[in-house]
Amino acid sequence: MGAVVRLSWTSLRQSLRRDAPARGRQLAALALVIVAVCTFVALSWQLDGPTETNRFWRANLSLLTGTVAFLVGMFAHAEDPLDERALVQAGQRPTAAAFSALIAALCSPRGVVWLLGGLLTAMSSLHEGTLLAGGLVGVCLALIDRAGGVSARGLVEYGVAREARAIGGYVITGAVGVAGYTLLLLPWQTAIAQFDAAYAETALWLPLSGAMLANSLDDPAIASRTLAVAAVQLLVLLVVLFAFGVRTGRRLLVARSDGGASRFGLMGTAAGGASRAIAWRIGMAWLRDHRYVTVMVTVIILPVLIVIPLLIGGADRGWMALLPLPLATFLLGWAIHNDLAFDSSASWLHFTSGMRGSADRFGRALPSLIMGIVTVIGGVAFLGLFVNGWPQAFATGAVALALLLVSLGGSSIMSVVVPYAVARPGDPPLSQPIRSWGAAVLAHPVAGIVEAALCLPVILTAIRAINESSWGYVGLATALAIGIGTVCLWGGVAIGGKLYERRAVQLLHFAQQN
Protein backbone atom coordinates (compact mmCIF):
# COMPACT_ATOMS: atom_id res chain seq x y z
CA MET A 1 0.00 0.00 0.00
CA GLY A 2 2.81 2.38 0.85
CA ALA A 3 4.34 1.73 -2.56
CA VAL A 4 1.10 2.79 -4.26
CA VAL A 5 0.91 5.99 -2.22
CA ARG A 6 4.56 6.76 -3.03
CA LEU A 7 3.77 6.07 -6.68
CA SER A 8 0.97 8.64 -6.69
CA TRP A 9 3.20 11.35 -5.18
CA THR A 10 6.09 10.41 -7.45
CA SER A 11 3.82 10.60 -10.48
CA LEU A 12 2.68 14.05 -9.36
CA ARG A 13 6.27 15.24 -8.95
CA GLN A 14 7.18 13.94 -12.38
CA SER A 15 4.09 15.54 -13.96
CA LEU A 16 5.16 18.92 -12.56
CA ARG A 17 8.49 18.95 -14.38
CA ARG A 18 8.91 21.67 -16.97
CA ASP A 19 9.01 19.20 -19.86
CA ALA A 20 5.99 17.17 -18.67
CA PRO A 21 2.96 17.45 -21.00
CA ALA A 22 0.54 17.13 -18.07
CA ARG A 23 2.13 19.90 -16.02
CA GLY A 24 -0.41 22.60 -16.81
CA ARG A 25 -3.47 20.49 -16.13
CA GLN A 26 -2.09 19.04 -12.90
CA LEU A 27 -1.17 22.47 -11.58
CA ALA A 28 -4.56 23.84 -12.59
CA ALA A 29 -6.41 20.97 -10.89
CA LEU A 30 -4.42 21.33 -7.67
CA ALA A 31 -4.86 25.12 -7.70
CA LEU A 32 -8.61 24.74 -8.23
CA VAL A 33 -8.84 22.37 -5.27
CA ILE A 34 -6.88 24.76 -3.03
CA VAL A 35 -9.04 27.73 -4.03
CA ALA A 36 -12.23 25.70 -3.59
CA VAL A 37 -11.16 24.47 -0.15
CA CYS A 38 -10.15 27.95 1.04
CA THR A 39 -13.48 29.37 -0.15
CA PHE A 40 -15.35 26.44 1.39
CA VAL A 41 -13.68 26.86 4.77
CA ALA A 42 -14.03 30.65 4.87
CA LEU A 43 -17.73 30.60 3.98
CA SER A 44 -18.51 27.72 6.33
CA TRP A 45 -16.95 29.64 9.22
CA GLN A 46 -18.97 32.71 8.26
CA LEU A 47 -22.17 30.66 8.21
CA ASP A 48 -21.52 28.90 11.50
CA GLY A 49 -24.48 29.07 13.82
CA PRO A 50 -27.65 27.23 14.84
CA THR A 51 -30.07 29.38 12.79
CA GLU A 52 -32.09 27.76 10.01
CA THR A 53 -30.87 30.30 7.46
CA ASN A 54 -27.23 29.46 8.21
CA ARG A 55 -28.00 25.76 7.88
CA PHE A 56 -29.72 26.45 4.54
CA TRP A 57 -26.65 28.17 3.13
CA ARG A 58 -24.21 25.65 4.63
CA ALA A 59 -26.13 22.82 2.97
CA ASN A 60 -26.02 24.59 -0.39
CA LEU A 61 -22.33 25.35 0.11
CA SER A 62 -21.54 21.68 0.72
CA LEU A 63 -23.48 20.56 -2.36
CA LEU A 64 -21.77 23.21 -4.49
CA THR A 65 -18.34 22.17 -3.22
CA GLY A 66 -19.15 18.53 -3.96
CA THR A 67 -20.06 19.51 -7.52
CA VAL A 68 -16.74 21.36 -7.85
CA ALA A 69 -14.86 18.29 -6.55
CA PHE A 70 -16.59 16.08 -9.14
CA LEU A 71 -15.80 18.51 -11.97
CA VAL A 72 -12.15 18.77 -10.89
CA GLY A 73 -11.88 14.98 -10.97
CA MET A 74 -13.29 14.94 -14.49
CA PHE A 75 -10.99 17.76 -15.56
CA ALA A 76 -7.81 16.02 -14.35
CA HIS A 77 -8.68 12.40 -15.14
CA ALA A 78 -6.29 12.10 -18.10
CA GLU A 79 -3.27 12.79 -15.91
CA ASP A 80 -4.45 10.65 -12.99
CA PRO A 81 -1.86 7.90 -12.28
CA LEU A 82 -4.28 6.02 -10.00
CA ASP A 83 -5.79 3.89 -12.74
CA GLU A 84 -6.68 0.33 -11.74
CA ARG A 85 -5.69 -0.91 -15.19
CA ALA A 86 -2.08 0.21 -14.66
CA LEU A 87 -1.95 -1.61 -11.32
CA VAL A 88 -3.41 -4.78 -12.85
CA GLN A 89 -0.81 -4.62 -15.62
CA ALA A 90 1.83 -4.32 -12.90
CA GLY A 91 0.71 -7.68 -11.50
CA GLN A 92 -1.96 -6.89 -8.88
CA ARG A 93 -5.29 -8.68 -8.78
CA PRO A 94 -8.33 -6.56 -9.74
CA THR A 95 -9.66 -6.44 -6.16
CA ALA A 96 -6.27 -5.45 -4.75
CA ALA A 97 -5.78 -2.89 -7.52
CA ALA A 98 -9.19 -1.30 -6.83
CA PHE A 99 -8.48 -1.12 -3.09
CA SER A 100 -4.98 0.29 -3.62
CA ALA A 101 -6.26 2.93 -6.03
CA LEU A 102 -8.91 4.08 -3.53
CA ILE A 103 -6.42 4.39 -0.67
CA ALA A 104 -3.92 6.15 -2.92
CA ALA A 105 -6.65 8.59 -4.05
CA LEU A 106 -7.28 9.54 -0.42
CA CYS A 107 -3.55 10.01 0.14
CA SER A 108 -2.89 11.91 -3.10
CA PRO A 109 -2.18 15.66 -2.93
CA ARG A 110 -5.74 16.60 -3.91
CA GLY A 111 -7.14 14.05 -1.47
CA VAL A 112 -5.06 15.47 1.38
CA VAL A 113 -6.22 19.02 0.58
CA TRP A 114 -9.87 17.91 0.56
CA LEU A 115 -9.41 16.11 3.86
CA LEU A 116 -7.80 19.14 5.50
CA GLY A 117 -10.60 21.32 4.18
CA GLY A 118 -13.23 19.05 5.71
CA LEU A 119 -11.47 19.07 9.08
CA LEU A 120 -11.10 22.86 9.06
CA THR A 121 -14.80 23.41 8.32
CA ALA A 122 -15.70 21.39 11.39
CA MET A 123 -13.29 23.32 13.63
CA SER A 124 -15.64 26.33 13.69
CA SER A 125 -17.54 24.74 16.59
CA LEU A 126 -15.47 22.40 18.72
CA HIS A 127 -17.44 19.75 20.58
CA GLU A 128 -17.92 16.00 20.64
CA GLY A 129 -18.05 14.60 17.11
CA THR A 130 -16.29 17.55 15.48
CA LEU A 131 -13.37 15.58 14.09
CA LEU A 132 -15.65 12.77 12.93
CA ALA A 133 -17.93 15.19 11.04
CA GLY A 134 -14.96 16.99 9.48
CA GLY A 135 -13.31 13.73 8.52
CA LEU A 136 -16.50 12.51 6.87
CA VAL A 137 -16.77 15.75 4.87
CA GLY A 138 -13.11 15.61 3.77
CA VAL A 139 -13.15 11.92 2.81
CA CYS A 140 -16.44 12.37 0.98
CA LEU A 141 -15.02 15.28 -1.06
CA ALA A 142 -11.90 13.26 -1.92
CA LEU A 143 -14.02 10.30 -3.03
CA ILE A 144 -16.29 12.57 -5.09
CA ASP A 145 -13.15 13.90 -6.79
CA ARG A 146 -12.19 10.29 -7.47
CA ALA A 147 -15.69 9.53 -8.78
CA GLY A 148 -15.34 12.41 -11.24
CA GLY A 149 -12.13 10.91 -12.61
CA VAL A 150 -13.67 7.44 -12.88
CA SER A 151 -16.73 8.85 -14.65
CA ALA A 152 -14.60 10.79 -17.13
CA ARG A 153 -12.54 7.72 -17.96
CA GLY A 154 -15.73 5.75 -18.54
CA LEU A 155 -17.08 8.42 -20.89
CA VAL A 156 -13.81 8.42 -22.82
CA GLU A 157 -13.83 4.64 -23.02
CA TYR A 158 -17.32 4.63 -24.53
CA GLY A 159 -16.49 7.49 -26.91
CA VAL A 160 -19.07 9.97 -25.60
CA ALA A 161 -16.83 12.36 -23.65
CA ARG A 162 -17.34 15.27 -26.06
CA GLU A 163 -21.12 14.89 -25.99
CA ALA A 164 -21.16 14.60 -22.20
CA ARG A 165 -19.02 17.73 -21.93
CA ALA A 166 -21.48 19.63 -24.13
CA ILE A 167 -24.46 18.44 -22.10
CA GLY A 168 -22.68 19.43 -18.90
CA GLY A 169 -21.94 22.85 -20.36
CA TYR A 170 -25.60 23.30 -21.29
CA VAL A 171 -26.66 22.28 -17.78
CA ILE A 172 -24.26 24.74 -16.17
CA THR A 173 -25.33 27.52 -18.54
CA GLY A 174 -28.96 26.73 -17.81
CA ALA A 175 -28.28 26.80 -14.08
CA VAL A 176 -26.65 30.22 -14.46
CA GLY A 177 -29.66 31.43 -16.44
CA VAL A 178 -32.13 30.10 -13.85
CA ALA A 179 -30.06 31.65 -11.04
CA GLY A 180 -30.06 35.02 -12.80
CA TYR A 181 -33.80 34.71 -13.39
CA THR A 182 -34.37 33.88 -9.73
CA LEU A 183 -32.27 36.77 -8.42
CA LEU A 184 -33.87 39.27 -10.80
CA LEU A 185 -37.53 38.28 -10.77
CA LEU A 186 -38.39 36.04 -7.85
CA PRO A 187 -38.77 36.96 -4.15
CA TRP A 188 -36.02 34.54 -3.21
CA GLN A 189 -35.36 36.16 0.18
CA THR A 190 -38.97 35.54 1.18
CA ALA A 191 -38.83 32.00 -0.18
CA ILE A 192 -35.67 31.24 1.81
CA ALA A 193 -37.23 32.62 4.98
CA GLN A 194 -40.31 30.47 4.37
CA PHE A 195 -38.67 27.19 3.35
CA ASP A 196 -35.24 27.30 5.02
CA ALA A 197 -36.32 25.15 7.97
CA ALA A 198 -37.86 22.44 5.77
CA TYR A 199 -34.88 22.48 3.41
CA ALA A 200 -32.38 22.29 6.27
CA GLU A 201 -34.28 19.31 7.69
CA THR A 202 -34.19 17.58 4.29
CA ALA A 203 -30.50 18.40 3.83
CA LEU A 204 -29.66 16.30 6.89
CA TRP A 205 -30.38 13.23 4.77
CA LEU A 206 -28.44 14.34 1.69
CA PRO A 207 -24.89 13.15 0.96
CA LEU A 208 -22.16 15.47 2.24
CA SER A 209 -24.52 18.14 3.61
CA GLY A 210 -25.61 15.94 6.53
CA ALA A 211 -22.08 15.71 7.88
CA MET A 212 -21.65 19.43 7.20
CA LEU A 213 -24.70 20.33 9.31
CA ALA A 214 -24.19 17.86 12.15
CA ASN A 215 -22.10 20.29 14.22
CA SER A 216 -24.80 22.98 14.11
CA LEU A 217 -27.51 20.75 15.63
CA ASP A 218 -28.49 21.37 19.24
CA ASP A 219 -29.92 17.89 19.91
CA PRO A 220 -27.06 15.36 20.40
CA ALA A 221 -29.34 12.47 19.40
CA ILE A 222 -30.22 14.08 16.05
CA ALA A 223 -26.56 14.98 15.49
CA SER A 224 -25.50 11.38 16.13
CA ARG A 225 -28.18 10.08 13.78
CA THR A 226 -27.10 12.53 11.10
CA LEU A 227 -23.47 11.45 11.42
CA ALA A 228 -24.50 7.79 11.21
CA VAL A 229 -26.47 8.46 8.02
CA ALA A 230 -23.51 10.37 6.56
CA ALA A 231 -21.18 7.47 7.42
CA VAL A 232 -23.51 4.96 5.70
CA GLN A 233 -23.69 7.17 2.60
CA LEU A 234 -19.90 7.41 2.54
CA LEU A 235 -19.65 3.64 2.83
CA VAL A 236 -22.04 3.24 -0.11
CA LEU A 237 -19.87 5.58 -2.19
CA LEU A 238 -16.77 3.57 -1.25
CA VAL A 239 -18.44 0.32 -2.26
CA VAL A 240 -19.59 1.75 -5.60
CA LEU A 241 -16.13 3.09 -6.43
CA PHE A 242 -14.53 -0.20 -5.35
CA ALA A 243 -16.95 -2.19 -7.53
CA PHE A 244 -16.21 0.01 -10.55
CA GLY A 245 -12.50 -0.37 -9.91
CA VAL A 246 -12.76 -4.17 -9.76
CA ARG A 247 -14.82 -4.17 -12.95
CA THR A 248 -12.26 -1.97 -14.71
CA GLY A 249 -9.41 -4.23 -13.66
CA ARG A 250 -11.22 -7.42 -14.68
CA ARG A 251 -12.11 -6.04 -18.11
CA LEU A 252 -8.40 -5.70 -18.80
CA LEU A 253 -7.97 -9.44 -18.25
CA VAL A 254 -10.77 -10.44 -20.65
CA ALA A 255 -9.61 -11.44 -24.13
CA ARG A 256 -11.47 -9.54 -26.85
CA SER A 257 -11.58 -10.24 -30.56
CA ASP A 258 -12.78 -8.17 -33.48
CA GLY A 259 -16.02 -8.93 -35.25
CA GLY A 260 -19.44 -9.96 -34.01
CA ALA A 261 -22.68 -8.02 -33.96
CA SER A 262 -22.62 -4.23 -34.08
CA ARG A 263 -24.58 -2.53 -31.32
CA PHE A 264 -25.64 1.06 -31.94
CA GLY A 265 -27.57 1.61 -28.73
CA LEU A 266 -30.01 4.52 -28.93
CA MET A 267 -28.63 5.53 -32.31
CA GLY A 268 -30.09 2.33 -33.74
CA THR A 269 -33.38 4.27 -33.88
CA ALA A 270 -31.86 6.34 -36.72
CA ALA A 271 -32.11 3.38 -39.09
CA GLY A 272 -35.18 2.92 -41.26
CA GLY A 273 -36.22 6.54 -41.78
CA ALA A 274 -34.70 9.63 -43.37
CA SER A 275 -36.22 12.02 -40.81
CA ARG A 276 -34.86 9.99 -37.90
CA ALA A 277 -31.39 9.81 -39.42
CA ILE A 278 -31.32 13.56 -40.03
CA ALA A 279 -32.69 14.23 -36.53
CA TRP A 280 -29.84 12.21 -35.00
CA ARG A 281 -27.27 14.00 -37.15
CA ILE A 282 -28.61 17.43 -36.18
CA GLY A 283 -28.91 16.34 -32.55
CA MET A 284 -25.24 15.37 -32.55
CA ALA A 285 -24.43 18.74 -34.12
CA TRP A 286 -26.02 20.47 -31.12
CA LEU A 287 -23.47 18.61 -28.99
CA ARG A 288 -20.40 18.68 -31.27
CA ASP A 289 -20.53 21.75 -33.51
CA HIS A 290 -19.35 24.96 -31.85
CA ARG A 291 -21.67 27.00 -34.06
CA TYR A 292 -24.73 25.16 -32.75
CA VAL A 293 -23.35 25.43 -29.20
CA THR A 294 -23.08 29.21 -29.60
CA VAL A 295 -26.70 29.34 -30.74
CA MET A 296 -27.87 27.22 -27.79
CA VAL A 297 -26.01 29.33 -25.22
CA THR A 298 -27.62 32.42 -26.74
CA VAL A 299 -31.07 30.82 -26.48
CA ILE A 300 -30.47 30.05 -22.79
CA ILE A 301 -29.04 33.42 -21.72
CA LEU A 302 -30.77 35.94 -24.00
CA PRO A 303 -34.30 35.74 -22.45
CA VAL A 304 -32.95 36.86 -19.08
CA LEU A 305 -30.86 39.61 -20.70
CA ILE A 306 -33.94 40.91 -22.56
CA VAL A 307 -35.88 41.22 -19.32
CA ILE A 308 -33.24 43.38 -17.58
CA PRO A 309 -33.81 46.64 -19.56
CA LEU A 310 -37.57 46.12 -19.29
CA LEU A 311 -37.28 45.92 -15.52
CA ILE A 312 -35.11 49.04 -15.48
CA GLY A 313 -37.79 50.79 -17.57
CA GLY A 314 -40.41 50.03 -14.92
CA ALA A 315 -42.17 46.98 -16.37
CA ASP A 316 -44.31 44.97 -13.97
CA ARG A 317 -42.21 42.34 -12.24
CA GLY A 318 -45.03 39.79 -12.19
CA TRP A 319 -45.44 39.85 -15.96
CA MET A 320 -41.68 39.90 -16.50
CA ALA A 321 -41.40 36.69 -14.45
CA LEU A 322 -43.58 34.95 -17.06
CA LEU A 323 -41.77 36.34 -20.12
CA PRO A 324 -38.48 34.30 -20.28
CA LEU A 325 -40.17 30.93 -20.95
CA PRO A 326 -42.03 32.03 -24.14
CA LEU A 327 -38.96 33.96 -25.27
CA ALA A 328 -36.75 30.88 -24.83
CA THR A 329 -39.03 28.56 -26.82
CA PHE A 330 -39.50 31.15 -29.56
CA LEU A 331 -35.74 31.64 -29.87
CA LEU A 332 -35.22 27.87 -29.89
CA GLY A 333 -37.57 27.49 -32.87
CA TRP A 334 -36.33 30.61 -34.65
CA ALA A 335 -32.67 29.60 -34.15
CA ILE A 336 -32.84 26.96 -36.93
CA HIS A 337 -33.88 29.52 -39.57
CA ASN A 338 -30.46 29.10 -41.23
CA ASP A 339 -29.41 25.58 -40.21
CA LEU A 340 -29.10 24.51 -43.86
CA ALA A 341 -26.12 26.85 -44.20
CA PHE A 342 -24.39 25.10 -41.27
CA ASP A 343 -24.09 21.92 -43.37
CA SER A 344 -21.70 23.50 -45.88
CA SER A 345 -20.52 20.74 -48.27
CA ALA A 346 -22.45 18.10 -46.30
CA SER A 347 -25.59 19.39 -48.03
CA TRP A 348 -24.56 17.31 -51.06
CA LEU A 349 -25.38 14.15 -49.12
CA HIS A 350 -28.95 15.31 -48.55
CA PHE A 351 -29.60 16.38 -52.12
CA THR A 352 -27.99 13.42 -53.88
CA SER A 353 -29.68 10.83 -51.65
CA GLY A 354 -33.04 11.55 -53.28
CA MET A 355 -34.89 11.98 -49.96
CA ARG A 356 -38.12 13.93 -49.83
CA GLY A 357 -37.83 17.56 -48.86
CA SER A 358 -40.40 17.20 -46.06
CA ALA A 359 -38.28 14.43 -44.50
CA ASP A 360 -35.29 16.78 -44.43
CA ARG A 361 -37.35 19.64 -43.01
CA PHE A 362 -38.98 17.57 -40.26
CA GLY A 363 -35.74 15.80 -39.34
CA ARG A 364 -33.99 19.14 -38.83
CA ALA A 365 -36.85 20.49 -36.71
CA LEU A 366 -37.26 17.38 -34.53
CA PRO A 367 -34.32 17.94 -32.09
CA SER A 368 -35.46 21.51 -31.42
CA LEU A 369 -39.04 20.29 -31.04
CA ILE A 370 -38.02 17.73 -28.41
CA MET A 371 -35.85 20.21 -26.51
CA GLY A 372 -38.61 22.81 -26.69
CA ILE A 373 -41.29 20.48 -25.30
CA VAL A 374 -38.97 19.50 -22.42
CA THR A 375 -38.35 23.22 -21.79
CA VAL A 376 -42.08 23.95 -21.74
CA ILE A 377 -42.79 21.13 -19.27
CA GLY A 378 -39.93 22.15 -16.98
CA GLY A 379 -40.80 25.83 -17.24
CA VAL A 380 -44.46 25.26 -16.38
CA ALA A 381 -43.48 23.17 -13.36
CA PHE A 382 -41.04 25.85 -12.18
CA LEU A 383 -43.53 28.69 -12.65
CA GLY A 384 -46.31 26.75 -10.93
CA LEU A 385 -44.20 25.91 -7.91
CA PHE A 386 -42.25 29.12 -7.40
CA VAL A 387 -43.92 32.05 -9.19
CA ASN A 388 -47.59 32.92 -9.67
CA GLY A 389 -49.65 29.75 -9.45
CA TRP A 390 -50.74 26.91 -11.70
CA PRO A 391 -53.32 28.68 -13.94
CA GLN A 392 -50.75 31.37 -14.78
CA ALA A 393 -48.06 28.73 -15.31
CA PHE A 394 -50.15 26.64 -17.71
CA ALA A 395 -51.30 29.74 -19.62
CA THR A 396 -47.67 30.79 -20.04
CA GLY A 397 -46.81 27.26 -21.15
CA ALA A 398 -49.54 27.43 -23.81
CA VAL A 399 -47.99 30.61 -25.24
CA ALA A 400 -44.53 29.04 -25.12
CA LEU A 401 -45.77 25.92 -26.94
CA ALA A 402 -47.49 27.96 -29.65
CA LEU A 403 -44.39 30.09 -30.24
CA LEU A 404 -42.21 26.97 -30.41
CA LEU A 405 -44.35 25.17 -32.98
CA VAL A 406 -45.05 28.22 -35.14
CA SER A 407 -41.41 29.36 -35.17
CA LEU A 408 -40.25 25.86 -36.11
CA GLY A 409 -42.68 25.84 -39.02
CA GLY A 410 -41.53 29.27 -40.16
CA SER A 411 -37.87 28.36 -39.86
CA SER A 412 -38.47 25.23 -41.97
CA ILE A 413 -39.46 27.56 -44.80
CA MET A 414 -37.03 30.44 -44.24
CA SER A 415 -33.90 28.27 -44.09
CA VAL A 416 -34.64 27.20 -47.67
CA VAL A 417 -35.83 30.55 -49.03
CA VAL A 418 -33.20 32.94 -47.60
CA PRO A 419 -30.08 31.10 -46.44
CA TYR A 420 -27.01 33.18 -45.67
CA ALA A 421 -23.35 32.34 -45.21
CA VAL A 422 -22.11 31.31 -41.78
CA ALA A 423 -18.77 30.27 -40.32
CA ARG A 424 -17.45 27.12 -41.95
CA PRO A 425 -17.15 23.89 -39.93
CA GLY A 426 -14.09 24.12 -37.70
CA ASP A 427 -13.86 27.92 -37.90
CA PRO A 428 -14.55 30.13 -34.87
CA PRO A 429 -18.33 30.49 -34.44
CA LEU A 430 -18.17 34.29 -34.58
CA SER A 431 -16.20 34.45 -37.84
CA GLN A 432 -19.42 34.83 -39.83
CA PRO A 433 -19.02 36.72 -43.16
CA ILE A 434 -21.42 39.63 -42.55
CA ARG A 435 -21.00 41.04 -46.07
CA SER A 436 -22.89 38.07 -47.55
CA TRP A 437 -26.03 38.37 -45.44
CA GLY A 438 -27.91 40.42 -48.08
CA ALA A 439 -31.70 40.31 -47.83
CA ALA A 440 -31.53 37.89 -44.89
CA VAL A 441 -30.84 40.85 -42.57
CA LEU A 442 -34.48 41.92 -42.95
CA ALA A 443 -36.17 38.70 -44.09
CA HIS A 444 -35.56 36.62 -40.97
CA PRO A 445 -36.53 39.27 -38.36
CA VAL A 446 -39.69 40.00 -40.36
CA ALA A 447 -40.44 36.27 -40.46
CA GLY A 448 -40.02 36.18 -36.69
CA ILE A 449 -42.53 39.02 -36.29
CA VAL A 450 -45.02 37.20 -38.54
CA GLU A 451 -44.58 34.01 -36.51
CA ALA A 452 -45.27 35.91 -33.27
CA ALA A 453 -48.33 37.55 -34.87
CA LEU A 454 -49.76 34.12 -35.76
CA CYS A 455 -49.71 33.32 -32.05
CA LEU A 456 -51.77 36.40 -31.07
CA PRO A 457 -54.99 34.42 -30.44
CA VAL A 458 -53.11 32.22 -27.98
CA ILE A 459 -51.35 35.19 -26.36
CA LEU A 460 -54.56 37.19 -25.86
CA THR A 461 -56.44 34.19 -24.46
CA ALA A 462 -53.54 33.39 -22.12
CA ILE A 463 -53.44 37.01 -20.86
CA ARG A 464 -57.11 36.77 -19.94
CA ALA A 465 -56.52 33.42 -18.26
CA ILE A 466 -53.69 34.94 -16.22
CA ASN A 467 -55.70 38.00 -15.20
CA GLU A 468 -58.75 35.97 -14.17
CA SER A 469 -56.94 32.80 -12.98
CA SER A 470 -59.46 30.93 -15.12
CA TRP A 471 -58.88 27.27 -15.93
CA GLY A 472 -61.43 27.56 -18.71
CA TYR A 473 -59.37 30.13 -20.56
CA VAL A 474 -56.25 28.09 -19.80
CA GLY A 475 -57.83 25.13 -21.58
CA LEU A 476 -58.88 27.34 -24.50
CA ALA A 477 -55.37 28.82 -24.78
CA THR A 478 -53.84 25.33 -24.72
CA ALA A 479 -56.24 24.08 -27.41
CA LEU A 480 -55.47 27.11 -29.59
CA ALA A 481 -51.74 26.60 -29.06
CA ILE A 482 -51.90 22.95 -30.11
CA GLY A 483 -54.18 23.68 -33.06
CA ILE A 484 -52.41 26.75 -34.47
CA GLY A 485 -48.97 25.34 -33.68
CA THR A 486 -49.61 21.97 -35.28
CA VAL A 487 -51.06 23.53 -38.44
CA CYS A 488 -48.15 25.96 -38.77
CA LEU A 489 -45.52 23.30 -38.09
CA TRP A 490 -47.09 20.82 -40.53
CA GLY A 491 -47.60 23.55 -43.13
CA GLY A 492 -44.06 24.86 -42.69
CA VAL A 493 -42.56 21.39 -43.10
CA ALA A 494 -44.72 20.67 -46.17
CA ILE A 495 -44.09 24.04 -47.86
CA GLY A 496 -40.42 24.03 -46.90
CA GLY A 497 -40.10 20.49 -48.29
CA LYS A 498 -41.56 21.49 -51.65
CA LEU A 499 -39.29 24.55 -51.82
CA TYR A 500 -36.35 22.37 -50.80
CA GLU A 501 -36.93 20.05 -53.77
CA ARG A 502 -37.61 22.92 -56.17
CA ARG A 503 -34.56 24.97 -55.16
CA ALA A 504 -32.12 22.05 -54.99
CA VAL A 505 -29.79 23.47 -57.67
CA GLN A 506 -29.67 26.94 -56.08
CA LEU A 507 -29.07 25.46 -52.62
CA LEU A 508 -26.26 23.25 -53.93
CA HIS A 509 -24.67 26.30 -55.55
CA PHE A 510 -25.02 28.18 -52.25
CA ALA A 511 -23.39 25.30 -50.34
CA GLN A 512 -20.51 25.13 -52.84
CA GLN A 513 -19.75 28.84 -52.53
CA ASN A 514 -20.17 29.11 -48.78
Determine phi and psi for 110, rounding to 5 degrees.
Answer: -65, -40
If one counts every other C-beta atom within 10 angstroms of the C-beta of residue 198, the result is 11
User: What's the whole-number mean pLDDT along residues 263-287?
Assistant: 75
Q: How confident is the model at residue 375 (pLDDT cuts 50, 70, 90)?
A: very high
Cβ(66)–Cβ(142) below 8 Å = no
Q: How many CA atoms lie within 13 A of 222 on its CB side?
A: 14
Q: How confident is the model at residue 304 (pLDDT cuts 50, 70, 90)?
A: confident
Residue type for position 210: G
Most confident range (mean pLDDT) of 64-68, 157-161, 336-340 is 64-68
Strands (E), 368-456: none
Query: What's the whole-model pTM score?
Result: 0.82
At 448-477, the pLDDT tens digits run 899 999 999 999 999 999 998 889 999 999
Q: How far apart are CA 481 and CA 325, in angstroms?
A: 15
Q: How far apart are CA 286 and CA 392, in angstroms?
A: 32
Task: Give 116's contacts (C-beta < 8 A, 6+ positions apart).
Answer: 37, 138
Q: How far apart are CA 437 and CA 419, in angstroms?
A: 8
Query: 240 or 195, which is more confident?
Result: 240
User: What's the whole-number mean pLDDT along residues 88-109?
Assistant: 81
Most confident range (mean pLDDT) of 120-134, 298-312, 435-449 is 298-312
